[in-house]
């Protein structure tokens, strides 16, 4: 049985007041559209089809190979949008799920339930509904006296009595494919708005005496649709809580889940504790028994086990086990801290490896360096790695001792066991087990001035 999803994403999203297409606005690190596609995966067997229109280029680029796209131009309503998938899908799928791309909280389980309901339905379609006090502009589900679904009435054409109906159209449908294409050709332009409404196919089925099934959701949260940035923030808060709950149920402690911000898809090991104001973003992996935060931002980084990261910012970094850092440490792209490294306050590391047991307690910048095991980096040590044109490397051997306020002018090599005195300005390689000191600044030559203009 082939089941294919058709996602409608051609609308303008005018109410977002944005240059970015609505479906590309992110929630917990991924675009709205991505969330809907993920939820559809367990319920479908084929590659999804996305109907694009406004901002088509950007949406297609973002989707890459993950979906087939069809263009809806001009945008004449949701029924017209669904019809654009016919050329790709007619004869190629048994069932079609049509859903809107602005409903990112719908779960995989829910779509599965919808498809399973339709498998058992002798009629041509099943749809999702929800019972809620706040109608949020959704279409109302009109039922016959015998309880079966009769029609979906959009809010602005609903009679006052229909407006009181608490059962709402969520915007996800599963159709028998062949029936759908014919029905979409039969729907007529809505006289008031001049659009073809997908919701009108319900009446077509009812008119032909074909049963329409409804799956009634009880979790209103799942049906939050996004039309404005207020909705976007509500949906993100709900999604964040869903993500945090799952981590907690898997053994992660959070002192205050309301102020813990974790992107979708991040793995966190058991017995790790996240303190308030912790942000975990992008492609990040966290091991077991770590204590992270408060006030920590980690992006695209990998953390081993048993680390302590206090009030620090990490981006593109790799930490092995039992690393202790912060407060106020910063790791940038390519920082690799091996096990038992200690990094204290106001240090910055970029494109460098700090081998096992390196200590870098205070106020240092280490860039493009390879620092041997157990070496001590004194307060105020700087790798002067940039000569105005390129980045130059610094190599420091094992068990070295870099005195406070040392300037390491790269390219430079310090052998194992080397020592530098406080305030040393090191411009030449230092052999193993050798102490160097001094070198006050003095004029050596004229330089060419580079104008910024």
In this complex, which beta carbon is closest to Ca ion, that of residue 223 or of residue 404? Answer: 223
Indicate which of ligand UD1, Ca ion, none lies near residue 199 (CB less than 5 to 8 Å, by partner kind): ligand UD1
Structure tokens at 247: 């981590």
From 3, 9, 177, 292, residue interacting with ligand UD1 (rule: CB under 6 A): 9
Active-site hit among 12, 35, 340, 362: 362
Q: What is the CA radius of gyration of the chain?
A: 30
- Interface residues with Ca ion (CB under 5 A) are 102, 225
CA 141/CA 445 separation, integer angstroms: 84
Whichever of 9 and 373 has its CB closer to ligand UD1, that residue is 9
- For 375, residues 6+ apart whose C-beta sits below 8 A from its C-beta are 355, 358, 359, 396, 397, 398, 399, 400, 401, 402
For the bound state, the minimum distance from the C-beta of residue 200 to Ca ion, rounded and expressed in Å, comes to 17
Residue 152 in the binding site for ligand UD1 (CB under 6 A): yes
CA angle 379, 386, 439 (to 5 degrees): 55
By CB under 6 A, is residue 138 in contact with ligand UD1? yes
Least separation in angstroms between CB 238 and ligand UD1? 15
Tell whether residue 326 is a contact of ligand UD1 (CB under 6 A).
no
Exposure b/e, 63-90, CB count within 10 A at least 16 = b: beeebbbbebeebbbbbbbbbbbbeebe
β pairing state of 125-131 and 167-176: antiparallel
Using rule CB under 6 A, residue 101 touches ligand UD1 = yes
Asked if residue 56 binds ligand UD1 (CB under 6 A), the reply is no
Phi, psi of 108 (to 5 degrees): -55, -45
100 binds ligand UD1 (CB under 6 A): yes
CB closer to ligand UD1 out of 8 and 310 = 8
What does the alpha-carbon distance between residue 35 and residue 236 come to, in Å, rounded to a whole number? 11
> Which region, judged by CB under 6 A, interacts with ligand UD1, from 8-16, 87-95, 291-299, 300-308?
8-16
What sign results for the dihedral spanned by CA atoms 406, 408, 412, 413?
positive
User: Which structure tokens are listed for 177?
Assistant: 């494919």
Alpha helices by DSSP H, listed for 227-374, are 229-249
Asked whether position 10 contacts ligand UD1 by CB under 6 A, the answer is: yes
How near is the Cβ of 266 to ligand UD1 at its closest, in Å? 27
Q: With CB under 6 A as the contact rule, which of the stretches 196-204, 265-273, 301-309, 326-334 interacts with ligand UD1?
A: 196-204
147: left (phi over 0), alpha (psi -120 to 50) or beta: left
With CB under 5 to 8 Å by kind, the binding choice for 101 among Ca ion, ligand UD1, none is ligand UD1
Q: For Ca ion, give the closer residue by CB, 27 or 314.
A: 27
Q: Which is nearer to ligand UD1, 180 or 254 (CB)?
A: 180
Cβ distance to ligand UD1 smaller for residue 11 or 372: 11
Question: Other CB atoms closer than 10 Å to residue 178's CB: what's the count?
Answer: 14
Q: Distances from the Cα of 367 to the Cαs of 337, 348, 395, 428, 436, in angstroms? A: 13, 8, 11, 18, 21
Any catalytic annotation for residue 362? yes
- Minimum distance, C-beta of residue 82 to ligand UD1, in the bound complex (Å): 8
- Residue 448: DSSP 8-state: P
The reply on whether position 21 binds ligand UD1 by CB under 6 A is no
Find the shortest distance in angstroms from Cβ 42 to ligand UD1. 21
Give the separation between CA 397 and CA 373, rounded to whole angstroms. Answer: 8
* The token pair that represents 119 in the structure block: 């498998």
198 binds ligand UD1 (CB under 6 A): yes
Query: CB 9 → ligand UD1: shortest distance, Å?
Result: 5
- Is residue 420 part of the contact set for ligand UD1 (CB under 6 A)? no
Q: Residue 78, interface with ligand UD1 (CB under 6 A)?
A: yes
Largest Cα–Cα separation, the chain: 97
Q: Is 129 in the site for ligand UD1 (CB under 6 A)?
A: no
Binding site for ligand UD1 (CB under 6 A): 8-11, 51, 53, 72, 75-78, 80-81, 100-102, 138-139, 152, 154, 168-169, 171, 197-199, 225
Catalytic residue numbers read 362
């Amino acid at each position: 049985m082939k089941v294919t999803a058709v996602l409608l994403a051609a609308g303008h999203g005018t109410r977002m007041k944005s240059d970015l297409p609505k479906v590309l606005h992110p929630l917990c690190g991924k675009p709205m559209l991505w969330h809907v596609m993920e939820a559809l995966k367990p319920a479908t067997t084929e590659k999804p089809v996305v109907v694009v229109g406004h901002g088509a280029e950007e949406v297609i680029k973002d989707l890459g190979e993950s979906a087939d796209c069809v263009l809806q131009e001009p945008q004449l309503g949701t029924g017209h949008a669904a019809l654009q998938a016919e050329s790709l899908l007619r004869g190629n799928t048994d069932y079609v799920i049509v859903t809107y791309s602005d409903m990112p909280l719908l779960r995989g389980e829910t779509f599965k339930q919808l498809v399973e309901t339709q498998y058992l339905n002798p009629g041509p379609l099943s749809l999702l509904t929800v019972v809620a006090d706040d109608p949020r502009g959704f279409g109302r589900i009109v039922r016959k006296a015998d309880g079966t679904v009769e029609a979906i009435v959009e809010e602005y054409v609903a009679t006052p009595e229909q407006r009181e109906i608490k059962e709402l159209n969520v915007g996800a449908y599963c159709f028998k494919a062949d029936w759908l294409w014919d029905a979409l050709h039969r729907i007529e332009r809505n006289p008031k708005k001049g659009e073809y409404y997908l919701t009108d196919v319900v009446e077509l089925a009812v008119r032909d005496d074909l049963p329409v099934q409804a799956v009634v959701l009880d979790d209103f949260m799942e049906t939050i649709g996004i039309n404005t940035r207020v909705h976007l923030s509500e949906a993100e808060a709900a999604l964040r809580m869903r993500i945090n709950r799952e981590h907690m149920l898997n053994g992660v402690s959070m002192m205050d889940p309301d102020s813990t911000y974790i992107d979708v898809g991040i793995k966190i090991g058991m017995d790790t504790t996240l303190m308030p104001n912790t942000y975990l973003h992008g492609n990040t992996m966290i091991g077991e028994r770590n204590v992270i935060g408060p006030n920590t931002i980690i992006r695209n980084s990998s953390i081993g086990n048993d680390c302590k990261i206090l009030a620090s910012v990490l981006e593109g970094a790799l930490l092995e086990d039992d690393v202790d850092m912060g407060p106020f440490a910063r790791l940038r792209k390519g920082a690799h801290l091996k096990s038992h490294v200690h990094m204290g306050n106001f240090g910055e590391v970029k494109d460098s490896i700090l081998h096992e047991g390196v200590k870098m307690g205070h106020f240092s910048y280490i860039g493009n360096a390879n620092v041997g095991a157990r070496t001590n980096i004194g307060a105020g040590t700087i790798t002067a790695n940039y000569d105005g044109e390129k980045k130059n490397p610094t190599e420091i051997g094992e068990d070295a001792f870099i005195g406070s306020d040392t300037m390491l002018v790269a390219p430079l090599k310090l052998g194992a066991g080397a020592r530098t005195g406080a305030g040393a300005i090191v411009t030449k390689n230092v052999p193993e087990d050798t102490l160097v000191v001094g070198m006050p600044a003095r004029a050596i030559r004229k330089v060419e001035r580079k104008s910024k203009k």
